[in-house]
Each structure stands twice: as C-alpha cells, then as structure tokens.
Structure 1
C-alpha cells in the first residue's frame, strides 16, 4: 500500500488547552490554590470530581464511532478536542496528565527512551530495572498538590498499578483502590467519591486501547468495548453525589496500520548502521546513534523512506516545541534522531521488539490528528 503524508503537523500549543490542562483545571475548580486560575475548560466549581481516563479513546475515533457510545455522544456537543502531546503514547501522556506539564518538563519523553546514566533503554511503561521514578520525574504531581490542599485523592485501577514505576513518577499522591472489571471500578469510584465531602477520584480503564491494538480500532471488537465503557460511564454519572462533576478524557488515539504497510528493520541492516539503541515505538522511533554517525543515519533513513517518515534531529524537535521546554537533564533521553511516520505506515524490528508488539494492528505514537487529538467530556453535577 502506498501511504500519503499527513498535512504538515504542528507542535502542541502548550500555553493553550492540552491534556496537560485537564487535572490543573479540575484542581482549580476544586479550590486547590496551587492551580487557581488554571481552568481552561469552563468547568463547574464543585467539591467533588471523578476523572475517567479511557486509554486509547481518541477524540476523532469517538466521533467517528459514536454510535457505540450514546451516553458520551449526548455530551459531545460541549466537549473539547485537545492534543495529548508528543509522542502520542501512554507513558508520555500519563506524565503530561499527572503533572500538568509538557514532556520536556516532566521527562517521560517516550515509550522506550535512553537512561543516560546507564546507557540502557528504559521502557517507561513497565519500568523494569528502571531508575528511581521520583528522581526521573521530580516535579510535584497534581494529586500531591490536591492532597496538600485538603482534597482526598483516590486512584482506581488494576492492582499492579499500585506503586509501579510509572504510577510513582506520574501519578503519585493518591490513595489506591484496586478493582478489576469496569463495573468494579465504577463501584470503587462511587464509594471513594462519597466517602469525603471534598474529593478527587481518578478512574483508569485500559481495555479500549488493548482491543484496538490487537483487533484494530475499526473492528467490531473495538466498538463492543466502547459500548461497555459508555454504559459504565452512564452508571457512574447516575450514582455519584449530586454535587459531583465527571470528566472523561484519554491519553491518545490510534490508527490501524496494515501489515503490508510496514518495514522490518531486521531485514534492512543498512538502516541500523550507526544506530546504537533503537527506542520509541513503531510509529515514532527514537534513534540513539554512535558518536559522529547521526548525519549519515539521517541521510540513510531519509533516502529510504522519503515522505513516509519525518526524520527530525533532537535539536529540531526541541526547537519546534514538540516537547515543550526541555530540562537539560532530559535532553539526552530524547533520541539523536526521531523517525516520525506519516499516513498508515510503521517501522518495526522483529529482532529487537517482542513478537506481540510486532503483531499489533492498531498503533499510535506519531503526529496524526487521529493519534494526538483526545476528548475532554464534562458531565456537570446534577445540582450546584
């Protein structure tokens, strides 16, 4: 399949509404002084809020397939469409969501990035053998600020999130309630928000993303999963106290990438010449090059892929503002080169990536609107 380049992508405007604005806006309307005046979504001033993040529920996908989500569809008219940031991947977006900062400030700059202290790749999702997450991401989280302001903060999610590296780095400060199914998580969220008169509850659901990866975001399985989530959100909003708002958002969207529209670097050894570490993911690779090899690698990749891939130097990506303002210690975590795919195209390496990852149909990480745009859906309280 021949892929067409996307329209020239623009970096997020970090001074406007983005995924980084969601929790600061909520905290502002809960009366957290640290975030006074930060609401950009015109949220209601309330004593209690439940924030639901549905992994992989991109704004454009939700609109396209809104027949599977009648409850959310009824609130889409007032919903906002905002960028999640760059790369459009869960680890980065969780840092952006949890801290209210762009990636260059919080430092979670990709799914798999270089730890300069060890010269090893760190998978920021699994955090296996990773550094101290509090050192890696030293900024105060919104949850910490809310707790310090007297708001009871509770996170509801799978048990293995409790104390994980990514949770500690991006979302520390909340109490934790483990729950497995979507209905169990709704029950836990309702109980938590009812428990105190001033509360912030965060509920995470990851199955939409998982189904999209395996079956594709255009599949009937994806539609079925969204129907389940939509029904659960309807129940949640019906059961929370009357003075509680509910905010629904996502960490990224997704595109389906046909397997015929991919290149496997295991069969392209010339493209790996000069590449010391291959980070990132199939839609947005981060290339850590041997000393002095970056220019040759850039030329080889540009010649091979043409308009199907934007090859950016670290300096250009930073100068263009893709990561926002970047801390000096974060700079070497970013690839010397970034290979950002366009259209429905991806680059894998079957010798370095797990078989399960190479086999995924639905992908994200790049700069298309389908991947970057996420919804901010607000269900106001039944009474002020």
Structure 2
C-alpha cells in the first residue's frame, strides 16, 4: 500500500511523461471504484468493479464521508500539497478520472458508479437529443446563453441521469445518505438528477461544508455523506494549477482538514475518503485555436462542436472531406479519432452492449477532437468565448488532468 507522498511521486514519475493516461477501468483503479466499493461495504452484496484494498479499509465502517475536492490533481499532491495529511493517512494511492476529465462527467460517475457511456453526462457542453439542442448540463441552459435553469423555466422537465444513484441503492437498505455542496448548485436539474436518494445540504464555504458534513455523518448509525468543494477549481482556472493562490489555498485546506480529522476521531466506525473529480493542466505556452477561423470546419459538421475545449465531440458529415481539413489546419495541434474506435475510454468492454453504444453515439457524435499537449480548441458560441483567458484547464487525457489522489483515514 502506498502510504506516503514519496510513493505517489514515484508513480507520478512513471506516467507523467506519457502524453495520455486512459481511465483504468479494468484494473478497478478509476474513480468508478469508489461508489462501487462503498456500496459493497454497506450492503455486503457482491458488486463488480470493487477495489479490494479500499474495501478492506471501509467494510467495517458504518459512517463514510467522501470529500470531493474539485481539481485536486495528483500533480499538486506530488509537488508537496497535503504532504502531512498523506503521511498521517491510513492509505493513499491514485485513481484515474473519467473521459472527459471534467466535473459534469466525473461527478455523475461518482454518484452512480457507472462510466460515461451509461450515464451520458458527457461534458460541460453536451448534445441533449431529447430537446434537440446543445446545452450546459450543470446550468441546464442553452449553450448560447440564458440564466441558470432557463430550460426548466421554459417547461423542460427531464432527468439528466438514466442510471440509479448509489444513494438510491443504499436508501433501500436503510442507509441514510447526504450530499453537501455549494448553494449555487443546490436546486438544479443536474444536482437533482445525480443526488437522487440523498438529502442535499447547501453550504457556503469549506469550513461550512465540513461542519455540515460532520453533523450529517452523526445523524444515524449507518450514514454515507458526499461533500463537494469547488474553490480549488476556480482558482486553478483563474491563475493556473501551480500558482501561488492555489498553493496558499491548499495550505489552508490542509490545516482545516487536520481539524476535521481531530473531530472525526469522536465519531466511531468512521472513514474519511478524500479524492477529486479531475486535475488541471497549465495552459502556459499552449496554443489557443479558434475553430471558427478554420476554413470549412463548421460547414462539414451537422452541428457545432461541443464537450470541452480539451475534448470535443463532432458530428462529421463526410469523413474524407473533414479529414482533409483536419490535416491541413489542425493536425499539429490536435488528434482526431472516430468515437467508435475509442469506446474503451467511455466504458469497459463488459459494460458495452449494442443498445447502449447506439444511444451513446446519438449523444457523442461520430468523432472526437483532442488537443495535443496543453493546447485548447475553442468554438465561440458567444462573444465572451472569444475572451478565453484561463490559465489552467481540464477535460483532456494528460496525466495532469486524469490522475487524482485517493487518501483514506480510518477511525474505528
């Protein structure tokens, strides 16, 4: 078992020079294994995709707190972030994120234990066949603009989640489930879809999040609490993942978490699991490619591209013609794949059927355009998109985006 940051650093050195880090579904080393292992631990029912080392640590616990720190990549940990916490942990290792490596997709997998091909939450911008439009699922609004939940205000009433959540499955066994998160996401279609079966508790800060999570953990003898904190993601986008503001934030986070652990010792049979949804890559030195400037690009698509600026879905009209455009203008900056050739990124083979693959392709399109190195591909739906000035980003397949820590504290 990897128990110190030095061992995590060795793992990072093994993979950090690789250009791509795919999700490790078959090794039970993706973030999908967390909800699956928790489900097994609480119910005793055999569940596929369980991480045996994690199960050994949590199966005796009756209270589990899963803290999701948005954008806490393994790259930050190996640079010294949270070093004292890792040293004092019961177990620490790494997991792989989802594809795309983004909040809308990863949180859906953490909530359901299912890969993207099944839950169909495919990115920050996604094609929703049911309404025939490209939307922002986290905001449930059209991609071109509009206030949060404007689709709901217009009368669109659907669930964004075709799968059962881990909370629904545990609730039937009498396990109390809670989800603590920012006020801004409390009453949203996305949150309703992926927290079904849990009581959502709104928070306003890290300290508030942890206080409310601890309070919820004590409400029953058998309790699961998910807590989500997004401040690190915002600072990493604004200043870059290796910036001073991020360093200062992590220092403060470590101190607050140390206090939480002290209080958690009073809660018998409890486990704290700290992880993330994805990491971030620095965009310093990378190219920003505006796709509206690529001759013939949009004309050879059935609809504008969507997904992430680090992972784009395309509905290509004529592959041969589009391939010519790609080779002429984009090949130095990105890679082009048929979606049908990279299904393994969205689900392990044993999870794929002709029916669910067909449904997935309806949502994902025909091709994926993935930037090389730390480039970004920007399709400006609105004028504000032309002012893209983020210093850090995610969504792609680099180790910086795909590798996240798993840190566990057992209190029995």
Fold-level similarity (TM above 0.5): yes
CA distance in 2, matches of 1:304, 1:89: 27
| CA-CA distance at 1:39 after TM superposition | 4.3
**In the alignment, which of 52, 55, 61 is matched to residue 46 of structure 1?**
61
Equivalent position SS for 1:202: strand
Give the corresponding residue for 2:310.
Answer: 283
| CA-CA distance at 1:378 after TM superposition | 0.4
| CA-CA distance at 1:33 after TM superposition | 3.4
Give the corresponding residue for 1:344.
Answer: 374
Give the corresponding residue for 1:114.
Answer: 127
Q: Is the 8 A contact 1:144 1:174 kept in 2?
A: yes
| CA-CA distance at 1:358 after TM superposition | 1.7
Equivalent position SS for 1:248: strand
Give the corresponding residue for 2:399.
Answer: 369
CA distance in 1, matches of 2:80, 2:328: 38
Correspondence 1:11 to 2:27: no
CA distance in 2, matches of 1:14, 1:293: 33
CA deviations on 1:17-60 (whole Å, 9 max, x unpaired) are 21111122123223353749934323232110111000000112
Correspondence 1:379 to 2:409: yes
Give the corresponding residue for 2:8.
Answer: none
Equivalent position SS for 1:30: helix
Q: Is the 8 A contact 1:141 1:173 kept in 2?
A: yes
CA deviations on 1:129-170 (whole Å, 9 max, x unpaired) are 276553x42211111111111111111111232242221222
In structure 2, relative to structure 1, the CA distance for the partners of 1:356 and 1:378 (3 Å cut) is: farther
Please list every run of 5 or more consecutive structure 1 residues that lacks an aligned counterpart in the other structure: none
| CA-CA distance at 1:298 after TM superposition | 3.2
In structure 2, relative to structure 1, the CA distance for the partners of 1:286 and 1:233 (3 Å cut) is: same
Q: Superposition pairs for residues 84-233 of structure 1, below 5 Å?
A: 84-128=97-141, 129=151, 132-134=157-159, 136-233=160-257
Give the corresponding residue for 1:23.
Answer: 35
In structure 2, relative to structure 1, the CA distance for the partners of 1:353 and 1:142 (3 Å cut) is: farther
Equivalent position SS for 1:195: coil
CA distance in 2, matches of 1:72, 1:302: 48
| CA-CA distance at 1:192 after TM superposition | 0.9
CA distance in 1, matches of 2:394, 2:21: 17
Give the corresponding residue for 2:300.
Answer: 274
CA distance in 1, matches of 2:210, 2:64: 13
CA distance in 2, matches of 1:247, 1:236: 12
**In the alignment, which of 45, 61, 64 is matched to residue 76 of structure 2?**
61
| CA-CA distance at 1:228 after TM superposition | 2.2
CA deviations on 1:70-94 (whole Å, 9 max, x unpaired) are 4433257831211112110110101
In structure 2, relative to structure 1, the CA distance for the partners of 1:357 and 1:206 (3 Å cut) is: farther
Q: Is the 8 A contact 2:286 2:375 kept in 1?
A: no
| CA-CA distance at 1:305 after TM superposition | 2.6
Segment drifting more, 174-183 vs 48-57: 174-183
In structure 2, relative to structure 1, the CA distance for the partners of 1:351 and 1:170 (3 Å cut) is: closer
May I ask how many residue pairs the two structures share in their alignment?
A: 372
Equivalent position SS for 1:277: coil
Segment drifting more, 152-161 vs 248-257: 152-161
TM-score by length of 2: 0.83
CA distance in 1, matches of 2:387, 2:72: 20
Please list every run of 5 or more consecutive structure 2 residues that lacks an aligned counterpart in the other structure: 1-15, 142-150
Correspondence 1:298 to 2:309: no
Segment drifting more, 214-223 vs 116-125: 116-125
RMSD: 2.5
CA distance in 2, matches of 1:37, 1:18: 9
CA distance in 1, matches of 2:173, 2:187: 22
Equivalent position SS for 2:224: strand
In structure 2, relative to structure 1, the CA distance for the partners of 1:183 and 1:273 (3 Å cut) is: same
Q: Is the 8 A contact 1:6 1:342 kept in 2?
A: no
CA distance in 1, matches of 2:280, 2:268: 34
